[in-house]
Structure formats: C-alpha cells, structure tokens
Structure 1
Amino acid sequence: MLAAYVHHAFTTTATPALDLRLLRRPEFAASIAVMGLVGLVMYGQTTSLPVIGLDQHGLHGLDQGLLVCALGLGLLVSMPTGGRISDRLGARSLVRAGAAVTAALLATFAASADHLPLAAACVLFVAVGLSFGLTASPTVASLYRTLMSNRRHIRRVLPSVHAGLGRGGRGAHRRGAAPGPRRGGIRRRCRR
C-alpha cells in the first residue's frame, strides 16, 4: 500500500495530499530526517526514564515520572525560545549546537547513571530538555517555513485534515463522547 502511494505521489499530475516531491528539497529532507531522530530520541527518553527511575533510584508509581518531568521542564522553556531564536539567527547552527550538547549530556548520563544521585539526574535532564528543545523547535520551524514557501501544499492538505477532524468530532458527539467543533466556527475560518 505504501509503495502504491509512493508511485501515485510521484506520477500524478494533481498535487497529492502528501507531496513526496518535497523530499527533493534538501532543507525539507534534512528537517524530516532530524525530526525523525528527534522523535526517536524523545520516545526513547519518555519510555526509559521511568524504568531508570525504578531501577536506579527505587521510585514507584507516579514518582517514576520525575525524570520525565525534569526533561519536560527544560523543554517547556527551550521550545518556544528556540523557535524565536531560529527565526532571527537561522536554524542550522542552533540545531547543531543543541544536538551536540544533548548528545554530550546523554553520554554523561549513560556513563554515570549507576552512581548519579536523583537530584543530579533531575538537574541533568532539565539541561537535556533545554538543549533538546533547541534542536526540535528550530527543526519544526524550518519545516513550516519550507511548507509555507509552497502554499499550494498547505491549501491541499488543510481541507482534508479539517474534514477528518469534522467527521470525527460529529461522530464522537453522536456516540455520547465529547462534542466536536461547533457548527460554522472552524469551517468559517478555514474557508477564508
């Protein structure tokens, strides 16, 4: 099915919903690759840090999420700041610096995890979150800049996303779950 869509995306004369031809643009392809790595590292951290909290520090229950909260605190500060800085200075140097610092901090943690006190591990993961956000946020900003430079892709994808959300919201409302978007609110804004 994936191979059939790839063939369709490259051979159709109309703009496909997910235009794979964007991957020919080096800045877009690099941003997608970095975002894939960011997702992989983030998934690894959010799944392994509670286990490390249990194994290394004897944390149980909600306390196991302490290291993830420390990471989140750093991300909370650096994600919005990283986007603004990359808008002024460019993303490339910020992403490289953030990735290098993140790798160094994670290597430090890997080398010292067995004997690192919990408070020091929390401080370390706040720093990891700060540096990791300086990698993730500018990369997302680069993706949006690339997509916005070619607006026909946005005009093609946004209505299909909206239609999916609208149908899902109305269906959930009929089943007694939380109601979907109010009639006319989102639709009116998307048609402008």
Structure 2
Amino acid sequence: MSSVETTAEFTTRSPGATSSGAGIVLLTAGGVLALLATTIVGSTVPALSAELGAGASVHWVTTAYLLATAVAIPLGGWASLRFGVRATWLVGLSVFVVGATAAALAPDLGTLVVARGVQGLGGGALEPLMLTAVARAAGPARMGRVMGVVAAAMSIGPLAGPVLGGVAADTVGWRWSLGLVAVLGVAVLVGSVVTVRDAERTPVRLDVLGLALLATATSTALVALSRGAQAGVDARLAGLVALAVLGFAGFVLVARRRGAGAIVDLGTFRYPGFAPGIAIMALLGLSIYPLFFGLPQYLVSVAGLSASVAGAMLVPYAVGTLVAMPVAGRLSDRLGAPRPVAAGALVALVGAVLLVTSGSSTPFVVFVLASLAIGLGLGSIGSPTVSAVYRALPVPLVPSGSTVLFIGNQLGGALGVAVLAAILGASGGADAGGWPAAAGATPFWLAVVAALLVAALAPALRSPAPSSSDGRPAV
C-alpha cells in the first residue's frame, strides 16, 4: 500500500470509532480511568493491609491488575476487529466497573485480588481501544494535535491516583477510592452508549495459541522484573526469565506463520518508523516510572526535603507535560515528529543531568527546574511519537499497533522500576526500606541514557504525508 493510499484510507472516516468530539472526550475519560485504577491503590496499601490483615501478600492487589492487563491488551485488539470498537469498548468498561465495584466491597484479601484481576481484564483493554478509536477519528492531518490533547489528559491519571487514594485512606477509607472509580466508570459507560459509534468489523478468528503465548510471556516478564527488584538474582528468577523468553520466541514463530490472522500482526514492523516509535515509548516508560516512584524518596532521604515538599516536586513535572504535549502534537503535524521528539529528548536530558549532579547541598530551585525540564522534555516526546506510530500504519493494522505500543511501554516501565529497586537494594536500601544515602543520584542515570537513546532514534520516526491546502492528501 502506498503512502498516498494509506493516508487516504486513514483520513476517510469509517463509520467508526467516534461520532464527534464528545466521543473522543468519553474515550479519553475511559483511558484516564484505567490509568487512575492502576495507581490509586498504591497509597491505600497500608490501610487496606491493616484492615484485611494482608501482610506481605498485599502486593497481589496491584500485581493481579497488571497481570490481567497482559491478557486484556492483545485480546481487546482482536475483539475490536471482530466485534467492532463500540461493542468491545462497552464490554471492557462494563467488566471494569464490575471489578471495581467488587473490589470496593471485598470482605477479604482473596476476594479483593480476584476483583482487581477482573477490573484489570476490563481496564487493560480500554487504553489501546481508546488510542485506536481516536487515531481513526483524527486522521493523519490532525493526528499530532489530537494525540497531544489526549496525552495531556491521560497524564492526569498517574498523578491523580496516589493523591485521591491517599486522601480517601486518611478520611473516608480506602474502599471509597475504589468505589469512586466504579462510579466514574458507570458515568463513562452511560456516556459512551450515546457517543461511541460502531466501527467496521473484520471476521477474524481468535488466535488462541498466540494469545496464550503472548499473555504468558508478558505476564511472566512483569513478574520476573518485579521479583528481580525485590529478591535479586536466584534460580526462580532465572526460570521466569527463561519462560518469558521462550514465550516471546514461541509467539513470534506462531505470529509469523499466521500473518494477518495472528493475535498481533507482526507486519506492523515492516512499516518504516513503527519500530523506532515502539522503542521510544519503551524508553519513555523506562524514564517515567522510576521518576514517579523514586524522586520523592530521593528528595526526602538524600536532599533532606520534607515529605510534603518532596511530593509537591512532581507538580512542576506535571505542569511541564500538560504544557508540552498539545504544543508538541501540533508541531508534529506541521514539522513532523523527529524534530519535536529530538528537542524534547535534549530538554529532558538537561533535567536528568541536573538530578544526576544533585546532592544534599543542591539549592531547592535546581530540583524545581529539573522536574520542570523533565516534564517539558518527556511531554514533547510522547504525543509526537504516538502520532508517528499510527501514521506509519494502514488502518487494518492500527489495533495491532496499539497492542504492541502498550506492551512495549508497560515492559519499559517495569524494567525501569526493577532497575531502580535493584540499584537501591545493592546500596543497602533493601533492608532499610528506602533510598540509602550510598545510592546518591545514581538511579537517575536511567533517565540520562534513555534521553540520549530517544534523541538517536528520533530521526527514524514517520512524518505526516504532504497535504494540499484543503487538508486532503496530496497526489
């Protein structure tokens, strides 16, 4: 398929995806809700552990959700083709709401873990579906600006989750935070019934073997990364890594044989700009997740700031991302993705270098500038990269592209957290339960390396196809 044919197909609105701006708003709200559900539990863990007597097993409340998403992400991509975006979206939202409601009412830890797994099955499908539908509705000409606004909205979820969860745990109780997610889910579900239209359906069979291999490989890799961070290298970790590698290898063999009939069509990697985009999104996960988990600990333990001030230090980061994402998205529509992504990588590099060279005597304003610079930089990378990934693909491959995109970002984030925990553990933090002074700012070298690699990959991203003055693809 030529670039002109691809652009024409992408720009032509299918009976699909969304009916209007209202539909995009509802889809984005569902994606934000899925991210909120991922992070809202973290700050409630002490409260729910005390009430349910969970002990060390409490980590399964989060792990069950993440493992369920490993199944839901590729399954949702297939279902959106087979049954249409509308039907898959509504089912995913319904399962998400049922799981959230059951979690809020759970009488014991076992029930809570199962409920979170059900919630993950629904929530894991929402984010890729949202991006698939929005990409189809936007078309290449508006891809950057639409994805920039969507990405800015999506950044609210990870930041708001810990705040809402903590406030609920300290006031009305942890159950209310999960109940709030359920209520918001119902509101999005009702609105989606009205605004989200159906999309064209493709009669594809479910690749059960490919789904099983991919889900097993992804979930095993996540467990291995988590275990490696907590327990170090041992025989069990080696077994998990071997199983993950075999799972991915088996999936690749099955997918190559089945081609377009695979649960994820690996034909996506044949299109120029797709693989670099996925690599950049994985590096973005590698940078962002350690920042969320690590920066507040570092500022308290090493820089000597109070807990409240350290927590507030993510505010400049949030401001930077909210400002940069829509601006970078619009620039990518006009200039192409490579330039804003490379510029964002360099700005993020400046912020990362400020952190790497910081210490107990570093002035407060330096941390503010570092957080702001990283937010501006990473915010300038995300939306143009996602836009470039979708521009690289013809419409039939967009669901597979969404699946690969989210798996890459998820594994990148898990790897970043695992490396962060491993560095802290090697420095004596495993026993202390915090950020040891011996570690210093060493973990922030992750962000430095990631920024340099993103800058190197940026030129390989896909730019918009040339358009005529009336917005139609040029011929």
Structure 1 length-normalised TM: 0.72
**Number of the residue aligned with 1:151:** 395
Q: Given the alignment, which residue of 50, 58, 80 partners 2:305? A: 58
Deviation at 1:28, TM superposition (A): 0.4
Correspondence 1:74-153 to 2 at 5 A: 74-147=320-393, 150-153=394-397
Q: Could you tell me how far apart the structure 2 residues matched to 1:23 and 1:156 are?
A: 10
Give the count of matched residue pairs: 155
Deviations 1:50-108 (A, max 9, x none): 11221213322x54322222211111111121111111110111111211221122112
> 1:15 and 1:152 mapped to 2: Cα distance?
12
Deviations 1:160-186 (A, max 9, x none): xxxxxxxxxxxxxxxxxxxxxxxxxxx
Structure 2: runs of 5+ lacking an equivalent: 1-246, 403-475
Paired residue secondary structure (2:360): coil
Change (3 A) 1:49 1:82: same
Q: Deviations over 1:20-57 (max 9, x none)?
A: 22123330011011111111011121111111221213
Q: Structure 1 residues 38 and 140 mapped into 2: Cα distance closer, same or farther (>3 Å)?
A: same
1:155 to partner: Cα distance: 6.4
**Aligned position for 1:178:** none
Listed one character per residue, the Cα deviations across residues 88-140 of structure 1 (whole Å, up to 9, x for unaligned) are 11011111121122112211221134322223312331122112211222111
Give the AA of the match of 1:153: L
Q: Which moved more, 1:99-108 or 1:36-45?
A: 99-108
Alignment of 1:31-70 (within 5 A): 31-55=277-301, 56-60=303-307, 62-70=308-316
Aligned residues: percent identity? 33
Moved over 6 A (4+): 155-158
Q: State the SS of the aligned residue for 1:58.
A: coil
Gaps of 5+ in 1: 159-192
Q: Give the match for residue 15 of structure 1.
A: 261
Q: Residues 73, 156 of structure 1: CA spacing in aligned structure 2 closer, same or farther, 3 A cutoff?
A: closer
Instruction: For 1:73 and 1:39, locate their aligned partners in 2 and report how far apart those are by CA, in whole Å.
Output: 19
1:67–1:76: structure 2 CA closer, same or farther, 3 Å change rule?
A: same
Give the TM-score normalised by structure 2.
0.31
